[in-house]
Amino acid sequence: MAKQDELIFGIHAVNELIKRGPERFIELFLLKGREDERLMSIINLSKKYGISTQLVNRKVLDEKSEGEQHQGVLARITQGKTYTENDLEDILSQAKEKGESPFLLILDGVTDPHNLGACLRNADAAGVQAIIVPKDNAARLTATVRKVAVGAAETVPLVQVTNLVRTMKQLQDNGVWIIGTAGETDHCLYDEKLSGPMALVMGAEGKGMRRLTRETCDQLVKLPMAGSVSSLNVSVASGICLFEIVRQRRT
């Protein structure tokens, strides 16, 4: 596979990308003998857009996906767009033109691709305009991330920034209130006002946010934990926090 190519697998991820970017497909591999409704939908779409399709056995798919759960479908595609600090400005400008208040998710130190994929899915469902991650020490947009995101990787821009703290300060200068999650604070998520231009910062499970990231936040909040477990998976916690913000913004 050439460096400029990517792999993508999973029914939802492939189906969504065919709809949004059929021109990116180089070749599509489908499990021979499988003819259920979900796979037929992909077959019909690939015919519609003239995508080259090959029927192969499961061993070929297993080898190409390196053991990941491919669901009988895998594609080789051209590399997607990488979003940067400059793109973030455009994303926020477009949101402003639509009359939308900034709503962002910042991930600090989240390196697990499954967590990133789940966070992308949460972000799409909540109406987040972009996820911001540092270029270093962060999960990248891989085939596994796309599969877990079930199509959200094609709808929510993943913005990679060189200096996360500097980007946070630039957002603050533009009126975005930044809240971070931290177990040591006394402020409960449900007691705080979370409407208006907002960015939510989530740290890696266990380590949490880095010190400078934490210190740059305008406010720290925590989830009320009633049991013996001290923290939640970052994707679960982000979903809870994002939808509390959604609830408050709607009212």
CATH code of the domain covering residue 61: 3.30.1330.30
Looking at 78, 111, 133, which one is the last position of a domain? 78
Q: Do 141 and 227 belong to one domain?
A: yes
List phi, psi (to 5°) of 179: -110, 140
Q: What is the mean pLDDT of residues 42-65?
A: 90
What is the per-residue pLDDT for 79? 83
Q: Do 227 and 135 belong to one domain?
A: yes
Please tell me the least confidently modeled range out of 42-51, 84-93, 105-114, 219-228.
219-228
Q: Do 69 and 111 belong to one domain?
A: no
Domain of residue 183: give its range. Answer: 85-250
245 pLDDT exceeds 70? yes
pLDDT in tens, 77-89: 998 788 988 899 9
Residue 203: CATH number of its domain: 3.40.1280.10
Q: Do 58 and 117 belong to one domain?
A: no
Q: Do 38 and 155 belong to one domain?
A: no
pLDDT in tens, 22-31: 999 999 999 9
* Integer Cα distance of 199 and 23 in angstroms: 33
Looking at 78, 93, 116, which one is the last position of a domain? 78
Helix, strand, coil percent content, the chain, rounded in steps of 5: 40, 20, 35
Q: What is the mean pLDDT of residues 98-127?
A: 95
Of the candidates 72, 129, 135, 134, the one whose C-alpha atom is nearest the C-alpha of residue 104 is: 129
pLDDT band at residue 104 using 50, 70 and 90 as cut-offs: very high
pLDDT in tens, 204-214: 877 889 999 99
Q: State the pTM of this model.
A: 0.87
Percent of the chain with pLDDT over 70: 98
Domain tally for the chain?
A: 2
Q: Do 60 and 92 belong to one domain?
A: no
Looking at 78, 107, 132, which one is the last position of a domain? 78
pLDDT in tens, 166-194: 999 999 999 999 999 988 888 999 999 99
* Integer Cα distance of 74 and 51 in angstroms: 13
CB-CB contact of 28 with 46 (8 Å) = yes
CA 68 to chain centre: 19
Q: Considering only CA atoms, give the Rg of the chain.
A: 20
